[in-house]
Amino acid sequence: MNNMIWLLRMARWVRNPPPAGRVWLVAIVVALVVVLGTIEWMGLVPDWATQDRPPRLPRVQMP
C-alpha cells in the first residue's frame, strides 16, 4: 500500500517537477549531512561538541 503512494508521488513529480531552487536546497542539505556524518565517523569532532551517554539502567524483572 505504501509503495503505491510513493509511485503516485513520483508520477506527480515527473509531471510537475519542483523549482530549481528547491532542488538545490535539498542537494545542499544532503551534502551537508554527508559531510558532517563523515567528520563524525572519522573521529574529528572535538570533545566539547560530543554528548556523554548516560549509563543504561538495568532492566527490572516483573514477577
The verdict on residue 6 lying in a domain is yes
The number of domains in the chain is 1
Q: Does residue 9 lie within any of the structural domains?
A: yes
| Residues 39 and 45 sit within 8 Å (Cβ to Cβ) | yes
In a domain? residue 61: no
Q: What is the DSSP letter of 5?
A: H
Domain carrying residue 23: 2-36
pLDDT in tens, 20-49: 999 999 999 999 999 999 998 998 988 888
Q: Is residue 42 part of a domain?
A: no
Which triple of cell numbers denotes residue 55? Answer: 549509563
Confidence of residue 15 (pLDDT cuts 50, 70, 90): very high
Structural domain includes residue 63: no
**CA gap 38, 44 in Å, rounded:** 9
Q: Is residue 7 part of a domain?
A: yes
